[in-house]
Structure 1
Amino acid sequence: MNFNTKIRYDFIGNRNKFFLFSIALTLAGILSLLIFNLNFGVDFKAGTNMDIAVGKQATQAEAIAILEQAGIKGITPTVGGNGNERVSARFDEVLTQAKIVEIQNAFKAKYGDQVSAEVNVVSPDMAQELGIKTIWAILIASVAIMIYVMFRFEWRFALAANIAILYDAFVVVALFSIFRLEVDLPFIAAVLTTIGYSINDKIVIFDRIRENLRFGQFKNREQLAEMVNASIWQTMARNIYTVLAVLIVAVCLFIFGSESIKLFALAKIIGLSSGAYSSICIASPLWLLLKGKQKPKAAVKATTAP
């Protein structure tokens, strides 16, 4: 069949390469999680986070020296904000009020009485509760999307889409585990928005596949594969422009944003890139794979009256 679409690259014909790459990345992520786990921030493990505004330009070396003066060693604070006037330090233990006051006084001795601090403490019970709620949030979001796609399309579209969006979410988690990047609440927000955004590209392609499927007659698997390839290329420009528009914003946040938002922006960049990849290279070929296993309807034999 001719769809009057210039197919510049055969995504469907090369689907096994994409499947192998995706499986390899998934296995690497699983191994990293089993060996190293995630680098949880204070939001998901008991600890204390202090954001200290010193009112003057500070350096990391000065901040480390002040913490050591207060009896705390092995902590590497980050310095940022306008003119490097903010020091952020995260502690793996719940600091007592006396220790918090001691740290504040140490900074005041160096920078003056204008020093102020914002302190966030996470207890072990709260950290465990946040972790459980995060898992439930991802599961509920995935099931809700699958039900929505199943009602709008059919179960094969829903299954292919859900596998792809779970892959997108796992890629973000896996890369953060492999490169030991910190996981906090903004990271979870990035994963959830990745799931929501990822389904958008897949719905666009699936809608075109359904439309081509409705108005075409396909006698064999090769014709069906050609239709899926054509559907991908018919929606390629729209998907690229949509992804680029959001990706540019995420990259700008990563480059120009404050330290507190950089990892959120990085997670978004990874999720957006993976979502664009999985829509074309995983979800659509998976649907074709599931469709190809569908048993053909038995032909109705014409009968003539005796």
Structure 2
Amino acid sequence: MHFKREFDFVHLSKYFYIFSIALTVAGLIFLATFGLNYSVDFKAGSNVDISLSKNLTQEQVEAAIKDLGVTHEPSISLGQERVNIRYDKELTEDQSEALKAGITKLDDKASFEINTVDTEMAKELARNAIYAVLISCLGIIIYVSIRFEWRFALAAIVSLLHDAFMVVAVFSIFRLEVDLTFIVAVLTIIGYSINDTIVIFDRIRENLRFGKQKTYEDMKALVNKSVTQTLMRSLYTAFTVFVAAFFLLIMGGESIKMFSLAMVVGLLFGAYSSIFIASPLWLLLKKRQKPKVANKTA
């Protein structure tokens, strides 16, 4: 399905560039100043996830765990019949048992999941997460360069890095917790972003093959036409995945909350990056190339 009217997406892209650049600068400032709010997955400590048969108040939980002999205050998050307690230091076996006993007095049907991460494991997890993102980006650059050309590859990688960093920036600005599921969400967003971008780039390549572009305005019209022809497909895909991620965020458990939130944020940015970031950027890179050469390499 195509729109009957073609919009000037290239012209509109400058507003999205301004918005993305502003958010990128804000994200860099917050990252440099405050960093990310890492969960226990990426730093030493203990994370206690408790499933309950009834709701407890903050005061009840604090009273139940106050005599564990822990010298620092834990972070307590309450949910629907759930409690999450995070310590910045590892709990000993005796402290874990005392915590269980204190909560069990309030709810004898409570079940516990205690995860402990030491310093070396936390460093290794963070390092491997960075490697995973970098390797995936490298593979995408190689694939797009072989299938299309280096200008498409550069525009695609900027687009997917934009989507990934926007999620990181939002989590840094609002101090949202970053855990292992967050990394999974970022990798998923990268895959989604490149898939959507490739669809538009493939249509641009096809239109280049059968068109006669002599000026920049011809190339601009071609990009607008290609985006228009693939727009409904992009919107349908984005909306379908967004609805699934949104309901996971609203109705899903505490353990996948950050994953769902990262997906929702990433999908919102990914919905416009392929249209207003990747395609116009390719056009800028192509602008300096002579039309005759462009037709040969397309």
Q: Report the TM-score, using the length of structure 1 for normalisation.
A: 0.90
Classify the secondary structure of the residue corresponding to 1:49. strand
2:219 corresponds in structure 1 to 224
| Superposed counterparts of 1:168-183, under 5 Å | 168-183=163-178
Deviations 1:102-148 (A, max 9, x none): 21122233334x44422110000000001110110000001111111
Flag structure 1 segments of 5+ consecutive residues without an equivalent: 299-306
| Superposed counterparts of 1:141-220, under 5 Å | 141-220=136-215
Question: More displaced, 245-254 or 63-72?
Answer: 63-72
The share of aligned pairs that are identical, in percent, is: 52
1:108 corresponds in structure 2 to 104
2:76 corresponds in structure 1 to 77
Q: Report the TM-score, using the length of structure 2 for normalisation.
A: 0.92
Deviations 1:215-248 (A, max 9, x none): 0001100010011011111111111011111100
Distance 1:50 1:4 in 2: 52
Contact 1:70–1:106 (8 Å) recurs in 2:
no
**Shift of residue 204, structure 1, vs aligned partner:** 0.9
Question: More displaced, 252-261 or 279-288?
Answer: 252-261
1:302 corresponds in structure 2 to none
Distance 2:239 2:254 in 1: 23
* One-letter amino acid of the structure 2 residue matched with residue 47 of structure 1: G
Whether 1:89 aligns to 2:96 is no
* One-letter amino acid of the structure 2 residue matched with residue 6 of structure 1: R
* One-letter amino acid of the structure 1 residue matched with residue 168 of structure 2: V
Deviations 1:68-92 (A, max 9, x none): 24355633423345xx1x3221111
**Shift of residue 18, structure 1, vs aligned partner:** 2.2
1:6 corresponds in structure 2 to 5
Distance 2:113 2:236 in 1: 41
Alignment CA distance shift 1:160-1:64 (3 Å): same
Deviations 1:165-217 (A, max 9, x none): 00100000000000000000010000000000111110111111001100000
Classify the secondary structure of the residue corresponding to 1:150. helix
Contact 2:39–2:178 (8 Å) recurs in 1:
yes
Contact 1:5–1:230 (8 Å) recurs in 2:
no
* One-letter amino acid of the structure 2 residue matched with residue 75 of structure 1: P
**Aligned match for 1:248, one of 238, 243, 247:** 243
**Aligned match for 1:282, one of 269, 272, 277:** 277
Provide the aligned C-alpha RMSD in A.
Answer: 1.9
Contact 2:3–2:229 (8 Å) recurs in 1:
no
Contact 1:168–1:274 (8 Å) recurs in 2:
yes
Classify the secondary structure of the residue corresponding to 2:239. helix
* One-letter amino acid of the structure 1 residue matched with residue 88 of structure 2: D
1:66 corresponds in structure 2 to 64
| Superposed counterparts of 1:122-137, under 5 Å | 122-137=117-132
Alignment CA distance shift 1:157-1:115 (3 Å): same
Deviations 1:7-28 (A, max 9, x none): 1x31112332222221111111
1:98 corresponds in structure 2 to 94
Contact 2:133–2:187 (8 Å) recurs in 1:
yes
Distance 2:139 2:116 in 1: 33
Deviations 1:17-57 (A, max 9, x none): 22222111111111110011000000001010112344444
Alignment CA distance shift 1:149-1:171 (3 Å): same
Distance 1:87 1:10 in 2: 50
Contact 1:165–1:195 (8 Å) recurs in 2:
yes
**Shift of residue 164, structure 1, vs aligned partner:** 0.5
Distance 1:139 1:282 in 2: 20
Distance 2:53 2:267 in 1: 37
1:48 corresponds in structure 2 to 46
Distance 1:142 1:16 in 2: 25
Deviations 1:243-269 (A, max 9, x none): 111100011111111222222111001
Contact 1:80–1:258 (8 Å) recurs in 2:
no
Question: More displaced, 147-156 or 181-190?
Answer: 147-156
Aligned residues: 291
